[in-house]
Amino acid sequence: DTGVSQDPRHKITKRGQNVTFRCDPISEHNRLYWYRQTLGQGPEFLTYFQNEAQLEKSRLLSDRFSAERPKGSFSTLEIQRTEQGDSAMYLCASSLALGQETQYFGPGTRLLVL
């Protein structure tokens, strides 16, 4: 069990650029979640997938954000036209889709928008 992995671990970009993050969940997990965490706050839910279907999106996920999980395995989160307010830690988690299953978190991707 290699755990949830995320790539890259750090990203610095200029305002207006597009960025894409990748998450690889634990292999048998069919649910995958994205959260955003800013300094001094708890993680906030962005969206989640069951297999390849995106089942819920937060109002935090503006039109500039898009997430995909094309084959029900890894997922990507893209932010278009980045803004300084997008600077945060982006966390991915995965779980089995059976009742109250524990979510296992990756190390996160820290984004800094200059």
Q: Assess contact for 15 and 114: CB atoms under 8 A.
A: yes
Q: Is 86 helix (H, G, I), strand (E, B) or coil?
A: helix
Shortest separation between residue 56's beta carbon and other proteins, angstroms: 7
Q: Is 85 helix (H, G, I), strand (E, B) or coil?
A: helix
Shortest separation between residue 10's beta carbon and other proteins, angstroms: 13
* Residues near other proteins, by CB under 8 A: 33, 35, 40-45, 48, 56, 91, 93, 95, 97-108
Shortest separation between residue 27's beta carbon and other proteins, angstroms: 18
Q: Which residues contact 51 (CB under 8 A, 6 or more apart)?
A: 30, 69, 72
Shortest separation between residue 40's beta carbon and other proteins, angstroms: 7
Residue closer to other proteins by CB (options 1, 14) is: 1
Residue closer to other proteins by CB (options 18, 62) is: 62
Closest CA to 108 of 15, 29, 35: 35
Residue closer to other proteins by CB (options 97, 114) is: 97
Supply 47's token pair.
């969206």
